[in-house]
Amino acid sequence: MEYRASHILVKEKSLAEELLRQLRKGKNFAELAKQYSTCPSKSKGGDLGWFGPGKMVKPFEDAVARMRSGGLSGVVSTQFGYHIIKKTGEK
C-alpha cells in the first residue's frame, strides 16, 4: 500500500492545535503549510508525494494508514515536532 499526504510541521503543540482549529473552520491547508510549516515541503503546500511502508517515522505512518483519503489528522507527535496531516491518496 502506498499513500500520498501533505503535512504541516511545527515545533509547538499549541500552534499545531491552533492551526488544526483553523483548518476545521475551513482555512486552506496549503496556505497554512506555506506560512507555518518548518518542513521543506512547505514550498509545495506541505505535499510529501507518494510513500510506502517504512519511508516515514512510525507515528506519522500509522496515522496516515488509519485515515481515509481526504481526511485530516489530529495533532501527531514525532521526534521532528507536531504534525497535522492531510491524506490525499492511497493506492
CATH number of the domain encompassing residue 14: 3.10.50.40
Q: How many whole angstroms separate alpha carbon 50 and alpha carbon 41?
A: 13
Question: For the chain, how many structural domains are there in total?
Answer: 1
Phi, psi of 69 (to 5 degrees): -60, 135
pTM for the complete prediction?
A: 0.95
Instruction: Tell me the per-residue pLDDT of 31-59, one tens digit each, with 9 for 90 and over.
Output: 999 999 999 999 999 999 999 999 999 99
Cβ-contact 87, 68 below 8 angstroms: yes
Beta strand residue intervals within the chain, DSSP E = 3-10, 47-51, 72-78, 81-90
Q: Which domain holds residue 72?
A: 3-90
Question: Can you give the pLDDT at residue 79?
Answer: 97
Instruction: Tell me the per-residue pLDDT of 54-86, one tens digit each, with 9 for 90 and over.
Output: 999 999 999 999 999 999 999 999 999 999 999
